[in-house]
Amino acid sequence: MIRRIALAAIAVTAVLAAPLRAAEPAEDMVTAFTLENGMDVVVIEDHRAPVVQHMVWYRAGSADEPPGQSGVAHFLEHLLFKGTDKLEPGELSATVAANGGRDNAFTSYDYTAYFQRIAADRLELMMQMESDRMVNLRLSEEEIVTEREVILEERNQRTDSDPRSLFREQLSAAQYLNHRYGQPVIGWRHEMETLDREDALSFYGTYYAPNNAILVVSGDVEPEEVRQLAEKYYGVIPANPDLPERFRSQEPPQTAERRMVYRDPRVAQPYVQRSYLAPERNSGAQEKAAALYLLAELLGGGNTSYLANALQFDQQLAVYTGAFYSGVSLDKTSFSFLVVPAEGVGMQEAEDALDATFARFLEEGVDPDQLERIKLQLRAAEIYARDNVDGIANRYGQALTSGLTVEDVQEWPHILQSVTADEIIAVAREVLQPEASVTGWMVRADEEVTQ
What CATH number did the domain enclosing 378 receive? 3.30.830.10
Secondary structure (3-state) at 339 = strand
What whole-number distance in Å separates Cα of residue 43 and Cα of residue 48?
15
Which of these, 348, 76, 113, 21, lies nearest to 202 by C-alpha position? 76
Residues of the chain above pLDDT 90, percent:
89
How many domains would you assign to the chain? 2
For residue 20, pLDDT over 60 is answered with no
- Residue 97, C-beta contacts closer than 8 angstroms, at least 6 positions apart: 103
Is residue 417 situated within a structural domain? Answer: yes
Residue positions annotated with a catalytic role: 77
**Residue 27: predicted pLDDT:** 40
- Mean pLDDT, range 338-366, rounded to an integer: 97
Lowest mean pLDDT among 346-350, 434-438, 445-449: 445-449
Is residue 151 situated within a structural domain? Answer: yes
Average pLDDT, the chain: 93
**Residue 25: predicted pLDDT:** 34
Say if residues 210 and 239 touch (Cβ distance below 8 Å). yes
Residues of the chain above pLDDT 70, percent:
93
**Residue 13: predicted pLDDT:** 29
Which range of residues forms the domain containing residue 218? 35-233
Is residue 251 situated within a structural domain? Answer: no
Q: 242-276 pLDDT, tens per residue? A: 999 998 999 999 999 999 999 999 999 999 999 99
Q: Are residues 266 and 216 in the same domain?
A: no
Q: Name beta bridge partners: 103.
A: 116
Residue 301: how many other CB atoms lie within 10 Å: 21
Q: Are residues 100 and 203 in the same domain?
A: yes
Q: 25-77 pLDDT, tens per residue? A: 334 589 999 999 999 999 999 999 999 999 999 999 999 999 999 999 999 99
Q: Are residues 429 and 305 in the same domain?
A: yes
**Residue 37: predicted pLDDT:** 98
Q: Name beta bridge partners: 185.
A: none
Q: Are residues 189 and 290 in the same domain?
A: no
Is residue 2 situated within a structural domain? Answer: no
pTM above 0.75, yes or no: yes
Say if residues 255 and 412 touch (Cβ distance below 8 Å). no
**Residue 390: predicted pLDDT:** 81
Q: Are residues 320 and 402 in the same domain?
A: yes
Strand-by-strand arrangement of the 40-45 sheet: 3-6, 29-34, 40-45, 213-219, 51-58, 112-119, 102-107
Is residue 247 situated within a structural domain? Answer: no
For residue 1, pLDDT over 80 is answered with no
DSSP state of 211: G
Is residue 3 situated within a structural domain? Answer: no
Is residue 12 situated within a structural domain? Answer: no
